[in-house]
Amino acid sequence: MSTSYITQAEQTFAQELLDFIEDSPSSFHAVNSVKQFLVPQGFRELTFDEKWSLIPGGKYFITRNNSALIAFIVGQGEPENYGFHLIAAHTDSPSFRVKPLPEILVEGHYLKLNIETYGGPILNTWLDRPLSLAGRIILRGESPFSPQTKLFHSERPLLVVPNLAIHINRKVNEGLELNKQKDMLPLLTQVIEGLQKDGILIRHLAETLHCQPEDILDFDLFLCESEKGSCVGLQQEFISSARLDDLAMIHAGAWAIAKAKPSLATSVLACFDHEECGSTSKQGAASPLLSHVLERILLAQKKDRETYFQALEHSFLISADMAHALHPNAVEKHDPMNRPILNGGPVIKISANQSYTTDAESAAIFTAFCKLADVPFQTFVNRSDERGGSTIGPISSTHLDIRSVDIGNPVLAMHSIRELGGVKDHLAIAKVFSEFYESE
């Protein structure tokens, strides 16, 4: 069957997304992957403890906690007249975090890991899959205040969360209720004679990093799927992958700002962490991180606080997080009229109760950029008798009172270990982002 429905450019860009996600098994890795976009295009890393000296048209980025990143291209116009063009997304995805003292011995035969749920994953999708570990390891440094940080991603599957066989759980297909502390603990290894059980995970990490176990001070490690994502469907029109929410928006935003030319406005990409658990961290959207960076951009250009507030009046934020597509097996769960589909284009998300920041004006502005990019667009509103989710847009608006729209590409199975998106949608949203950054 012909695959002309999907262009070669769309297929190639979708594959680039899958490669990006494969290289980004944790928020720490995602930030590192974004850097790979930026540095070759002339972006220079700044630090918070240095005095910034910026030039119009200059390209820069800053990180916080190695899990959040803000990149920007300084505008060539007066900031009080042209402001900031911002895209915000998040680096984290629902998962499970390894607890301290993680090894649990089961009747002398098995070792499993003690884990804590992060965000709101669909629990049963994590069962019976080869799983890996990814995150960061904190090593002893030159002083207590200066430990070393190493990224870690197990090269092979290490874990599995086994299901309970139907023969001893006869009602399993009538509805499965999983206990996060009891049923979701992954199996790590079998206990054999001579196996040194205590501290086995730390010893494995030390062996991988070629250091002594006592040099490992702590870790932030998360479970992740081992299998790489792929394009599926008769026409290869769907993207099946972990962490589409929200690495698809991170990838599209990083691609757009990396290729953007300096414009009159200052272009900004904000990649926040901890959206999946409320954003209330120093690297989350509920922190003053973004507002501080924006103000410092102006201070570094010898502008004052008055200019900063003037600049905000000429600014616009696209809050980019994924949206719910019409489900083929549950069409009744959706609004009767607003029913976005995969490969139908980016989705404008609307909520009367301000779960999303979109209003009529901001929606009109975003649709104008879609038309400039020759990209179709859709709308999403929850059923009136269903309470939906929220995202970083409303949180960011509590710190920056600027015009804002909440959008995202449509996906099925959001928060599953493996979500389903559209191949056409990914290049489409990247084109819209490019139009946004290059507008005057």
Residue located via tokens 């630090």: 47
**pTM score of the predicted model:** 0.95
Q: Are strands 84-90 and 316-320 parallel, antiparallel or unpaired?
A: parallel
- The enclosing H or E element of 118 equals strand 110-118
Picking from 256, 167, 262, 415, the residue whose alpha carbon sits closest to that of residue 271 is 256
DSSP 8-state secondary structure symbol assigned to residue 161 = B
Tens-digit pLDDT string for the chain (440 aa): 444 799 999 999 999 999 999 999 999 999 999 999 999 999 999 999 999 999 999 999 999 999 999 999 999 999 999 999 999 999 999 999 999 999 999 999 999 999 999 999 999 999 999 999 999 999 999 899 999 999 999 989 999 999 999 999 998 998 889 999 999 999 999 998 878 888 899 999 999 999 999 999 999 999 999 999 999 999 999 999 999 999 999 999 999 999 999 999 999 999 999 999 888 899 999 899 999 999 999 999 999 999 999 999 999 999 999 999 999 999 999 999 999 999 999 999 999 988 899 999 999 999 999 999 999 999 999 998 987 777 877 788 888 889 999 999 999 999 999 999 999 999 999 999 999 999 87
CA distances from 161 to 232, 320, 381, 409 (A): 25, 32, 35, 30
d(CA 288, CA 275): 15
Whole-angstrom distance, CA of residue 340 vs CA of residue 327: 9
Helix axes 244-259, 27-38, angle to 10 degrees: 20
pLDDT in tens, 237-266: 999 999 999 999 999 999 999 999 999 999
Q: What is the pLDDT of residues 379-402, one digit of tens each?
A: 999 998 987 777 877 788 888 889
The reported pLDDT for the residue numbered 1 is 42
